[in-house]
Amino acid sequence: MLPASNLRKGRKGNTHQVGDSVVGMPADSDSKIVPFSRDLAETWADVVIVGAGLYGLTAAEVISREFNKRVLIIDQRSHIGGNAYSYFDEETGIEIHKYGSHLFHTSNPRVHDYVSRFTKLNDYRHRVLTVAQGQVYSMPINLMTINQFFGKSFTPMEAREFIEQKANVESKNELTESLQGKCIATIGRELYEAFIAGYTQKQWQIDPKLLPADIINRLPVRFDFNDRYFKDTWEGLPLNGYEAWFLKMLANNQIKISLETDFFQLRELLQNKKVIFTGPIDRYFNFSEGELQWRTLDFDIERLTIDDFQGTSVMNYAEVEVPFTRIHEFKHLHPERIVPTGTVIMKEFSRRATRSDEPYYPVNSPADRATLKRYREQSEKLANVHFGGRLGTYQYLDMHMAIASALTWSRNTFVEWFKKQ
Ligand code: FAD
Ligand code: UDP
């Protein structure tokens, strides 16, 4: 399997330029990104942020602008943006989301206003299709999916009655606290087996009978023809790409970034420094309370000479026999851009992470929650370190949640934390 970086990167998109009316100049990445030095960390910086993902970027932007502090961000990767990073493929000009399609959506006006300072969004609305039993269906399950699957033309009320009746009968012997039990009690066994069981098994490599029911809460079931994946007030992709957005967040001269710099190689040096840590919390404590479980993803990326591979941005594959969970075709995320020729697709495979893999999704089993509680107790004893973000708090966070959490902490708690010895 090829790593996602096997396509050559262009400096910026060659497909679409927009007039900038958002505030702030884009940062010049060459002067922002500096090699790490002892002097920079020990003398120049007031605060060191570990991780240039959305939590770290938001914290850096607020702390430097609102509290006039000098912030050094370090990241072990060769780019900013954490998992939301994207780059433009040199040959096709298509924007590739290196860690899988990232769709921005929020109903939080504070987050929307904040993001609007740095980027405009396009009009993209996420809709997902899924291949099950040899046919393409609409996902999440809605009236179209139900009618197509059962060969009916139900009204919303008829569909609801039909599904409720099936679900009542078929869920009799199921435990409703499990994902399987909850699904069968909501949609009945046939829809569960066609659309959820195989996909979930591939995604989690755990029998859905043993998975907690809350995993499925993110996926609604609808009895109308609404096929939107998200129901948030605002949704869209950054018009000029994710990297342009993130560079604007770094415009302040009080922020510097050192890439390919691993915190664990220099933690001794940073002992007396105020550190905002957005890496994995269990690794910070040398796994002393045990390891937290994660799922990781492998991506298989291909450039094709055809113009359209699947006609949509994300196609799920519900069958357990198909080894990948979904295929991303990035050009469909930006219908406003003109791509002269070709397309890029990326297959996504899911598996349990080992220590050397990228941690993507917290498994969050009861044992994980107990382990996390012990790490939280340890972290509360450290006056100089604040743990934030997806890895630092062991939480599934969408981008808007990472931004909201960083805004709240930076504005409400930073000053008090900074003074604490
Ligand atoms: P991250 O983005 O993970 O950033 C943490 C950074 O810390 C990384 O850059 C890492 O390299 C760095 N780091 C870790 N350890 C060290 C160390 N020892 N030294 C130096 N640096 C270190 N959200 C949405 O809103 N919409 C989506 O469609 C969406 N899709 C997603 C798809 C996938 C596959 C994944 C994994 C996530 C998705 N998300 C999506 C979630 C989104 O990526 C997160 O909300 C966001 O990345 C959280 O930002 P963060 O700063 O907490 O973490
Ligand atoms: N899911 C499924 N079939 C699908 C899409 C999702 O069974 O076609 C289940 C799966 O268990 C997944 C959960 O719904 O973990 C949440 O879906 P979401 O798209 O939010 O998953 P993510 O990729 O964010 O984990």
What number does the ligand 1 atom closest to the CA of 80 have? 9
Q: Is 158 a residue whose pLDDT tops 60?
A: yes
Question: Ligand 1 pocket, 80 CB below 6 A?
Answer: no
pLDDT in tens, 312-323: 999 999 999 999
Give the CA count within 13 Å in the CB-facing half-sphere of 193.
6
pLDDT in tens, 102-128: 999 999 999 999 999 999 999 999 999
pLDDT number for residue 421: 77
Residue nearest to atom 21 of ligand 1 (CA): 75
Per the prediction, the chain carries an average pLDDT of: 92
Could you give the residue range(s) of every CATH 3.40.50.720 domain in the chain?
4-16+26-125+237-419
Give me ligand 2 centre to Cα 216, in Å: 7
Alpha carbon 147 to chain centroid, angstroms: 32
CATH class of 4-16+26-125+237-419: alpha beta
Residue nearest to atom 41 of ligand 1 (CA): 398
- What is the residue type of 270? L
pLDDT number for residue 364: 87
Question: Ligand 2 pocket, 320 CB below 6 A?
Answer: no
pLDDT grade for 53, boundaries at 50, 70 and 90:
very high
What are the beta bridge partners of residue 304? 343
Residue nearest to atom 36 of ligand 1 (CA): 360
Active site residues: 218, 222, 295, 326, 348, 396, 398
pLDDT in tens, 354-397: 999 999 999 888 899 999 999 999 999 999 999 999 999 999 99
Cα angle 397, 202, 170 (rounded to 5 degrees) comes to: 95
Beta-strand pair 314-317/234-236:
unpaired
pLDDT number for residue 4: 42
| Mean pLDDT along residues 249-255 | 97
Question: Ligand 1 pocket, 55 CB below 6 A?
Answer: yes
pLDDT grade for 8, boundaries at 50, 70 and 90:
low
What number does the ligand 2 atom closest to the CA of 200 have? 11
Give me ligand 2 centre to Cα 323, in Å: 15
- Of the given ranges (78-92, 161-175, 241-255), which has the lowest mean pLDDT? 161-175
